[in-house]
Amino acid sequence: MPAIAELLLAELEREAAGTRRILERVPEGRGDWKPHEKSMSLGYLAALVATIPGWAAAMITQDTLDVAAAGEHQTRGLGTNRELLEVFDKALDKARAALGFTTDEHLMTSWKLLAGGHVVSEQPRYVAIREGAFNHLAHHRGQLTVYLRLNDVPVPSLYGPTADEKVF
């Protein structure tokens, strides 16, 4: 039976290609655009999607993450697609490296998400990685596809054809 880290790494790799295709299409110069006043800006959302894979590394190498003082994990807007892809590649590299050296035993240990020192969630690291990083990535990547559509940018296929890409 494969190790938990191997399963997580395989999932990360499956999601990476589609995420890259989405990030490559983010229109430059539209970073402040929002579909609604309550929505995230396009630039912030794209930067968030680019950095989320790195959260898996933090969930392996740190015992907690306080979102009120996220430090290097604080999302910052990026100006160009090249910057988005560079940040994404670095986040992927961190996640791959962390998954490459961890153990099932470590992935079963507790990890905490904090907000201003208060525990928001506490769960085994492998669950935090699946829910807090990978599922979170899929959610925000889906939002980003809607932003692309609303900006008349062709939406690439992820799990199946789109109206813009009918063939893989």
Q: What tens digit of pLDDT does each residue of 104-147 get?
A: 999 999 999 998 899 999 999 999 999 999 999 999 999 999 99
Cβ proximity of 132 and 113 under 8 Å: yes
Residue 84: pLDDT band with limits 50, 70, 90? very high
Q: How far is CA 42 from the centre of its chain?
A: 15
Average pLDDT taken over every residue of the chain: 92
Q: Is the pLDDT of residue 74 over 70?
A: no
State how far the Cα of 42 lies from the Cα of 27, in Å rounded to an integer: 9
Domain residue ranges in the chain? 4-150
Check residue 40 and give its pLDDT.
94
Q: What stretches of 25-135 show up as alpha helix (H) in DSSP? A: 42-61, 81-101, 104-107, 125-128
What would the pLDDT profile of 14-53 be if each residue is shown by its tens digit? Answer: 999 999 999 999 999 999 999 999 999 999 999 999 999 9
pLDDT of residue 168: 55
Q: Is the pTM of this model over 0.85?
A: yes
* CATH classification number, 4-150, choose in 1.20.120.450, 1.10.3720.10, 2.170.190.11, 3.40.50.10490: 1.20.120.450
Residues 6+ apart with CB under 8 A from 85: 20, 23, 24, 50
Burial string for 155-167 (b: 16+ CB within 10 Å, else e) reads: bbebeeeeeeeee
d(C-alpha 73, C-alpha 87), whole Å: 11
Place of tokens 């900006």: 151
Cross-strand partners of 166: none
